[in-house]
Amino acid sequence: MGTLGIRTVGKVSFGTPASEQPGLHNRWHPDIPFAGTIKDGETVKIECLDWTGGQILNTDDADDVKNVDLTKVHYLSGPFEVETAAPGDLLLVEIMDVQPFQGQPWGFTGIFDRGNGGGFLDEIYPSAAKAIWDFEGIFCSSRHIPHVKFAGLIHPGILGCAPSAEVLETWNTREAKLITANKLEDRDVALPPQPINVHAGSADATLKEKIGKEGARTIPGRPEHGGNCDIKNLSRGSKVYLPVYVAGAKFSVGDLHFSQGDGEISFCGAIEMAGIITINFKVIKNGMAALGLKSPIYIPGLVEPQFGPGRYIYFEGFSVDQHGKQHYMDVTVAYRQTSLRCIEYLRRFGYSDYQIYLLLSCAPIQGHVAGIVDIPNACTTMGLPMDIFDFDISPTAALALTDGKTLDMGSCAFETGVTEGKVTNGGENSETSFGGGLTYKE
């Protein structure tokens, strides 16, 4: 054997601000200096902070969520040099394991305030809220959402290789056009490079300034390299084929999730955590052309939680919004409606809407495109696993409910002094609001 154990190529500290740790960065840019080197074929461990770099605390209020500074995110570990990788290659990344830190067995799910981040349902649920999750082995549970326990489908929300200068330029141009063309009154449509709170690893001041001006924000995933794709099944055992655009690949990873539902709907919606990811790296020379890949592909791991198809309740939603407006083939609208159907259903058991919104964001919810061709209605479905609850949520049980029989569901965390999140009419008077792609003004 020789030496036992797997080398840790990237380390983080809980005592030092994320912004001061040289192995972290929060922008995508080809010039961020390497944080370490990995051999072709090697398996290494990489430590990661949570995506906010520690802004969110294990507490019972949501002040930290409400006031989160989104110019600082995401703190990624890397970029790492993978030896021999060159532009045009593919990097085959096999996720051997993801684990929380032993001494940090907890994570958080947040709903951002509509004025600071927002989320998929923010017109209806505009308040900040939070749930803290405790980990015990493969399971998690929350004092803020009682009577729920489930095994984590643990995964990185973000992984990818650095863009080349050309790819970066494409991103910035493309997103700038969107921003120029679409001014929404109440929300950003994209986030251009922003030279505030830039962290570029070990870059010196000059380079850091450049990166601040040019570096792409980490919020969106992007087709060329993946990035923040937030794919819940990209879990242990998955193999991802990542395009390489710069010499040495400059691979970064972060935004670890103990669990996430399809859509990650509350934005800070996974069970966000710090942790350690173990990855095997292989370089496939000239793989981009050989496979003709324009975006990453992946093969899932085979240790996903298995509930059995008959242990899900599936909700259907269509592209008619909550104001009764018909949208044209808009899957975004349909999926929002599907989420609302699920909230309405679970509400009967005593949970608050905010608790359910948090839960659907982070539990292993299956979100499917069902029909996408039957004009004008796209149809999507959302599968809720019944076995994550410690009581019966089946329709049969729901029909047997009488008003006084629900369990004590406690409360999720809100802003200090607030005991219940606001629920609005969904922006009923606003023609421009709450659509998917369609409804904002051009």
Of 183-202, binders to a second copy (CB under 8 A) are 188-191
Region of 203-211, 220-228, 349-357, 411-419 interacting with a second copy (CB under 8 A): 220-228
**Residues 9-38 within binding reach of a second copy (CB under 8 A):** none
According to the binding rule CB under 8 A, does residue 86 interact with a second copy? no
Q: Over the range 358-395, which residues count as b (16 or more CB within 10 Å of their CB) and which as e?
A: bbbbbbbbbbeebeeeeeebbbbbbbbbbebbeeebee
Which residue number, 294 or 422, has a Cβ lying nearer to a second copy?
294
Token pair in block for residue 331: 């899957």
What would the DSSP string read from start to end of 112-160? --TTTT--TTTTT--S-EEEEEEEETTEEEETTEEEEEEE---EEEEEE
53, 243, 248, 367: which one contacts a second copy (CB under 8 A)? 367
- One character per residue 298-337, x = contact with a second copy (rule: CB under 8 A): xxxxxxxxxxxxxxxxxxxxxxx---xxxxxxxxxx-x-x
Query: Which residue in the set 37, 115, 177, 183 belongs to the binding site for a second copy (CB under 8 A)?
Result: 177
Binding window for a second copy (CB under 8 A); candidates: 81-89, 195-203, 367-375, 410-418? 367-375
Contacts of 12 (CB under 8 A, 6+ apart): 18, 21, 23, 24, 47, 48, 49, 77, 274
Give whichever of 165 and 189 is closer to a second copy, judged by the CB atom: 189
> Which CB sits closer to a second copy, 324 or 404?
324
Residue type, 161: C
Residue 156 to residue 411: CA distance in whole angstroms? 28
- Looking at 148, 151, 168, 356, which residue binds a second copy (CB under 8 A)? 151
What tokens appear for 136 in the block?
Answer: 């015990």
Token digits for 317? 């939603």
Closest-CA residue to 65 (of 414, 352, 419) = 414
What is the spatial distance between Cα 239 and Cα 281, in angstroms, rounded to a whole number?
Answer: 10
* Interface region with a second copy, contact rule CB under 8 A, candidates 15-23, 202-210, 395-403, 413-421: 395-403
Name residues contacting a second copy, limited to 61-80 (CB under 8 A). none
Judged by CB under 8 A, which of 355, 380, 411, 433 binds a second copy? 380
Nearer to a second copy, 203 or 411 (CB): 411
Residues 400-439 that bind a second copy (CB under 8 A): 435-439
Do the bridges between strand 90-100 and strand 239-243 make them parallel or antiparallel, or are there none, so unpaired?
Answer: antiparallel
Count of residues that interact with a second copy, criterion CB under 8 A: 138
Supply the minimum distance, in Å, between the C-beta of residue 248 and a second copy: 21
- In sequence order, what are the beta bridge partners of 200? 25
The region, left, alpha or beta by phi > 0 then psi within -120 to 50, assigned to residue 88 is left
Q: How many CB atoms lie within 10 A of CB 242?
A: 29
Among the residue ranges 18-26, 77-85, 168-176, 203-211, the one whose residues contact a second copy (CB under 8 A) = 168-176
Rounded CA gap, 246 and 236, in Å? 27
DSSP designation for 28: B
Q: Which is nearer to a second copy, 46 or 203 (CB)?
A: 46
Q: How far is the CB of 21 from a second copy (least distance, A)?
A: 21
Region near a second copy per CB under 8 A, out of 20-28, 77-85, 95-103, 207-215:
95-103
Q: 313 is written with which tokens?
A: 């309740």
Query: Closest separation between CB of residue 134 and a second copy, Å?
Result: 7
Contacts of residue 342, Cβ cutoff 8 Å, sequence gap at least 6 = 315, 356, 360, 365, 382, 384
- CA pair distance 315, 291, nearest whole angstrom: 37
| Min separation Cβ 393 and a second copy, Å | 11
| DSSP letter (8 states) at residue 299 | E
Of these, 93, 161, 378, 393, which contacts a second copy (CB under 8 A)? 378
Burial degree of 210 (CB within 10 A; 0-12, 13-18, 19+): middle
**Ramachandran assignment for 282, one of left (phi > 0), alpha (psi -120 to 50 degrees), beta (any other):** beta
> Which of 82, 168, 358, 379 is close enough to bind a second copy by CB under 8 A?
379
Task: Considering only residues 232 through 291, tell me which ones interact with a second copy, judged by CB under 8 A.
Answer: 232-233, 236-237, 241, 262-267, 269, 278, 280, 284, 287, 290-291
Selected range binding a second copy among 26-34, 132-140, 206-214, 410-418, rule: CB under 8 A: 132-140
CB of 343 to a second copy, least distance (A): 10
Nearer to a second copy, 34 or 227 (CB): 227
